[in-house]
Structure 1
């Protein structure tokens, strides 16, 4: 099973990302996307942290963490700018064994 919409304590979830993934691993989930709420005020904090924690967790867990974001209460004219900001974050460090990017260039 795969869950593509979970939240952590970075927004309105109850668990830190590693505990959420640990629990899903016990339930034999293959992957989980943590898509915490963000807007222009916290995007620069949440996205890099989630990308970093995903790289670390994915080295050690059978359940893979897909870093994502849920843009919340954002003016329509800002959405494309904020999406570009999110996509500009490197999804995995070059030293990672993963060579497949999580986003495609548009």
Structure 2
């Protein structure tokens, strides 16, 4: 069973519609999927309202928990709190595009995200600091282990720092194409490759996702 809280559709830079993405996720063994298209001040409401309609249909027809959301991407750090607040007011899952080692993300993005009460997940945070991880733990912001090439280069560092700080982790695909979606076996492989111990897998792959879903108002049987 897979829980995945960062995926993309043709509403931003993904290749599939939300409905087709969810259908393919069902076939891969997904229990829940967050559809988090890239957003900024100009398209935030546009993306969320469309994803809400798609996710309502998906939940009703296929039994997968489909969560509408956004990934706040390459924003000035000072803009993150206000845009996260706007997204959360519309009922969205809020992911912030963190300081991955393979993109020129503005320094200070991680710090702004983990200090914001309206952010749910800091995606691919790269070489985040001990202080940032501790703030994420205190703020309830989940840190992401990424299955996406490039972003995954810092997974081991993220796991070590999060473990020391007591910050909670989730594992996401950052899928843009159908081949990017995970199977349960692949999710486990990525988690172990990131340095998780076998006795930590249940928390990251099942318990933390369920905690996040409950916080967002979704029930998983």
Q: Same fold (TM over 0.5)?
A: yes
Q: 1:55 to 1:101 in 2, by over 3 A?
A: farther
Match of 2:161 in 1: none
Contact 1:8 1:16 in 2 (8 A): yes
SS in 2 for 1:30: strand
> Which protein has the larger Cα radius of gyration, Structure 1 or Structure 2?
2
Structure 1 residue aligned with 2:64: 63
- The equivalent of 2:81 in structure 1 is 80
Gapped runs of 5+ residues in structure 2? 93-213
State the SS of the aligned residue for 1:18.
helix
Kindly report structure 1 stretches of 4+ aligned residues shifted beyond 3 Å: none
In angstroms, what is the RMSD of aligned CA positions?
1.7
Corresponding residue pairs, total: 95
Which gives a bigger RCO, structure 1 or 2 (Cα 8 Å, sep 6+)? 1
- The alignment status of 1:102 with 2:216, answered yes or no, reads yes
Distance 1:24 1:7, change over 3 A: same
Deviation at 1:90, TM superposition (A): 4.2
> SS state of the match for residue 34, structure 1?
strand
Give TM-score scaled by structure 2 length: 0.40
Mapped contact 1:28–1:63 kept (Cα < 8 A): no
**1: CA distance between counterparts of 2:76 and 2:8?**
22
Once residues 12 and 63 of structure 1 are traced to their aligned partners in structure 2, the CA distance between those partners, rounded to angstroms, is 23
Q: How far is the alpha carbon of 1:101 from its aligned partner?
A: 6.5
Alignment map for 1:15-94 (pairs within 5 Å) = 15-90=16-91
Residue-by-residue CA offset, 1:48-92 (whole Å, 9 max, x unaligned): 11122112211111222111111012111111110111011146x
How many angstroms apart in 1 are the aligned matches of 2:61 and 2:15? 22
Whole-angstrom CA distance in 2 between matches of 1:27 and 1:77: 38
Post-superposition offset of 1:4 = 1.5
Question: Contact between 1:38 and 1:70, CA under 8 Å: does it hold in 2?
Answer: yes
Contact 1:5-1:33 within 8 A present in 2 as well: yes
* Structure with a larger share of its residues in helix: 2
